[in-house]
Structure 1
Amino acid sequence: MKIQITNPVKADTFSAIFQNMKLFADNINIIFDEDKMFVQAIDSGHVSILELNIPAAWFDSYEQTNATVGVNSVIFFKILSTRDKCQNIEIQCDEDSEKLLVRFASDNKTVFDKTFEMPLVDLDAEMMSVPDMEYQAEFALPSTNFYNLVNQLKMFGETMDIECSEEKIILFSNSQDCGKMSAEINIDDLTSFSIEEGEQIKMSFSLMHLYYIAQFHKLAKEVEMSFKRGYPLQIVYNLGDSDTTLRFYLAPKISEDDD
């Protein structure tokens, strides 16, 4: 397996993706199929799932051998953090090798090329299949707004409650010590919005997990959120096109009011 990223914007994006992946899992499997690179990471509490899908055409060079490469996400991020912005990324793993080779290089003579040998991790992780479904409510908003709201709500509690109807969307957070915060999102201010006719959705989610997800906000201008009562929240960052995505599933919190 060998991939190369020479486009500086894509190289920055690739590095940024793994910057916060360590929040979800210490070790991850990176799967190189014939037509894509795929990562699925599940947090230790099995509350949230991360799925990264990058088609082969996104890379400047993509040579694969249907390889599954297990890496420590913290070490991988440390390596990527040493890359200078003008440097290309080359990642290689020969068949039956126990090490991943990572190389940063550029034509800029003031920046030194770097090469790393990273030990692989033997990770026996079962892939979870998330079925496609029709959601009751879907909307998109600027990812920076999503990041700011989550950070602010997190100061006032551990849970985000959302109420969504045809007229409005309201987010709540409250605690006995800090009081309550609510934020109303004007439907007209959203990039897109749809909800089943007459539907009113009330759900609750962990703000800590939403905080982890919001850390990826710099990867895309918008974030798409999809809700269905009793099912995980789906959050999607499109990394340039509909096939290049960073997708999250977050299980709802169950309250005493739920059936």
Structure 2
Amino acid sequence: MLELRLVQGSLLKKVVESIKELVTDAKFDCSPTGFSLQAFDSSHLALVSLLLRSEGFHHYRCDRNISMGMNLDTVAKMLKFAGHDDIITLKADDASDSVTFMFESPRQDKSSKFEMKLMDIESEHLGMPEAEYHAIVRMPSVEFSWICKHLSSIGDTVVISVTNENEGVEFSSTGDIVTANSVYKHNTTVDGEVNVEMNEPVSLRFALRYLNSFTKASPLSTTVTLSLSSELPLVVEYKIAEMGYIRFYLPPKIDED
């Protein structure tokens, strides 16, 4: 038996909105310790990893490990029926091929119920070992979203650099006519603090269309963490209150092509 009750139902709506552009069909894994997801985008290049710990739910019951395959566009359409302050409950029996979504207003004067067929989705769970990165950048999520959006009007890729010279983090993009460079200094305040830790200088190029997709998770957290290393994919992480996180992994582009 699975039963999850989330008083802050808007959180689930934000989670689904943040990943449905990347992932069409996803398998959510539920265990006694939490609700998680790991899935690649259609090109098998970007990876999204989600964790919502059991203690963050108002009520959490999961008698045994269960996997639920869902179409995220369908889930997003259902969640449109939930008000911003609605309480959301998910229920599924152990042997069931469907999951029930229930939305209740805080005053319990309105409720909606949906039953959705589950999908059989094959996926491989990848272990993500802890690694030491060359540089870690923490900055306001709205600022990261802003710079990615505006650099997209210049070029298709962005070079993210953390070096001794820039004393912070630099975002640069080159188009046919214009080259743009923006530097955020360590510990400056731009609607929040920018913190840069550098173990080794690093400068890597990434596709902006993916980064702009990742920034759809900005409503989940005021801060974003970028972990960079020349040997590892970029990790873009948004903490979800005290519940967990959503992480996006993206390998750097080898060249401009």
Counterpart of 1:204 in structure 2 is: 205
1:204-223 correspondence to structure 2 within 5 Å: 204-223=205-224
Q: CA deviation at 1:78?
A: 0.9
1:175-254 correspondence to structure 2 within 5 Å: 175-176=175-176, 179-189=178-188, 190-196=193-199, 199-241=200-242, 244-254=244-254
Task: Give the SS at the match of 1:150.
Answer: helix
Judging changes above 3 Å, is the alpha-carbon distance between structure 1 residues 168 and 57 closer, same or farther for their aligned structure 2 residues? closer
Task: Give the SS at the match of 1:3.
Answer: strand
Residue of structure 1 aligned with 2:14, choices 16, 23, 34:
16
Identity %, equivalent residues: 23
Q: CA deviation at 1:152?
A: 0.4
Q: CA deviation at 1:221?
A: 0.8
1:51-66 correspondence to structure 2 within 5 Å: 51-64=49-62, 65-66=64-65
TM-score, normalising length: structure 1: 0.91
1:178-230 deviation per Cα after TM superposition (whole angstroms, max 9, x unaligned) = 5222111112324422112xx32110001000000011111101001111113
1:55-76 deviation per Cα after TM superposition (whole angstroms, max 9, x unaligned) = 1000011111211111101101
1:107-139 deviation per Cα after TM superposition (whole angstroms, max 9, x unaligned) = 536x63111011111001111222211001111
Aligned residues: 248
CA distance in 1, matches of 2:186, 2:105: 46
Contact 1:27 1:70 in 2 (8 A): yes
Task: Give the SS at the match of 1:52.
Answer: strand
Contact 2:152 2:208 in 1 (8 A): yes
Residue of structure 1 aligned with 2:159, choices 153, 158, 161:
161
1:16-55 deviation per Cα after TM superposition (whole angstroms, max 9, x unaligned) = 1111311121110111111111111211112211111111
Contact 1:230 1:252 in 2 (8 A): no
Contact 2:10 2:86 in 1 (8 A): no
Contact 2:38 2:125 in 1 (8 A): yes
Q: CA deviation at 1:155?
A: 1.0
CA distance in 2, matches of 1:175, 1:85: 40
Q: Which runs of 5+ in 2 are unaligned?
A: none
Counterpart of 1:50 in structure 2 is: 48
1:143-170 deviation per Cα after TM superposition (whole angstroms, max 9, x unaligned) = 0001101100111111011221132322
TM-score, normalising length: structure 2: 0.92
Counterpart of 1:31 in structure 2 is: 29
Contact 1:138 1:225 in 2 (8 A): yes
Contact 1:143 1:217 in 2 (8 A): yes
CA distance in 2, matches of 1:90, 1:221: 26
CA distance in 2, matches of 1:25, 1:107: 31
CA distance in 2, matches of 1:36, 1:85: 23
Instruction: For 2:19, give the aligned amino acid.
Output: M
Contact 2:46 2:250 in 1 (8 A): yes
Task: Give the SS at the match of 1:89.
Answer: strand
